[in-house]
Amino acid sequence: MRIAVLTSPESWYFRDLARAAGSDFQLTPLAFSEIRSTISMPPFAGSIPPFAGSSPPFTAASGNAELIDFAAVLVRSMPPGSLEQVVFRMDVLARAEAAGVRVINPPKAMECAIDKYLTTARLAAHGLPTPATVCCQTADDAMQAFCDLGQDVVLKPVFGGEGRGITRISDESLALRAFRMLEQMNAVIYVQAFVEHEGFDERLFVLGDVVLGMKRINRDDWRTNVSRGSTTEAIAVPPQLEELALQAARTVGTPIAGVDVLTGRDGQRYVIEVNAVPGWKALASTTGKDIARMVLEFLTQ
């Protein structure tokens, strides 16, 4: 089975997938930055094209490879780019998907997961527990949110991942300075109530209907990302937590997802994030599972 992997050939994840593939899968790394598309209009007679009602012929490629020549495209990276670049990349993947290529995760799901506001709004609309959140564009509105949310908030970039750019603010003067700076940058200000917790969260890896989990523990930092020094511990995912992870992934539309769940000191669980390009390096070493092989086999289903 031929699988295109949108990632760097030097990445740990591509090397792990190549190891797991053996001789059963043929993997080709492709670059997001080289994605291109051609739309051709064949000549026709009359006023109505012969392909009316269907998509015109097109190409969707990266480097020397045509996406439609692969059985599946696995998105394993989401490099930064301008708004035009990001939209164009998702559009091309959507056209490849419409042509019959299985794209995981689907472009529409990635568009949602990349956008913290849209993800949080969808989760809340489906009754899934999320921290109180305000998303606005002015410093005045953000300061009002800071007060309404108890003057202890987490400021997050709307687009971002792996804990980058996330700041906890509980000082009024620092909050005003941060909000004014973001307003001057024409940024969207995403403010979320800080959830008091016991120094750990749960990362749940969703693969179709399968959920694997680990606890990420950091007693020295309120952030529990492994990149910030958290230790990990495998967990047997209880049914209630499993269902919460599956519902979150389905709400966003991600067949493969990393769902972060934080339990407050009051015992309430909150869905903090749904990651459409979830890593599994720490999870694989913690659980002893060959997750790369599981991902490849999932693509064949």
Query: From 3.30.1490.190, 3.40.50.20, 1.20.1250.20, 2.130.10.30, which CATH number describes the 2-104 domain?
Result: 3.40.50.20
**What is 197-299's CATH topology?**
D-amino Acid Aminotransferase; Chain A, domain 1 (3.30.470)
Q: Cα(162)–Cα(227) distance, rounded to whole angstroms?
A: 8
Sheet containing strand 58-62, edge to edge, reads: 35-39, 58-62, 65-66
Query: From 3.50.50.60, 3.90.1150.10, 3.30.1490.20, 2.60.40.420, which CATH number describes the 132-193 domain?
Result: 3.30.1490.20
pLDDT tens, residue by residue, 80-124: 888 899 999 999 999 999 999 999 999 999 999 999 999 999 999
User: Of residues 168 and 41, which shows the higher confidence score?
Assistant: 168
In the numeric block, the tokens 């053996």 are attached to: 22
Amino acid in the structure at residue 231: T
pLDDT tens, residue by residue, 254-277: 999 999 999 999 999 999 999 999
Please indicate, yes or no, whether the overall pTM of this predicted structure exceeds 0.75: yes
- Name the residue ranges covered by the structural domains of the chain: 2-104, 132-193, 197-299
At 204, list the tokens. Answer: 């749940």
pLDDT of the residue at 116: 95
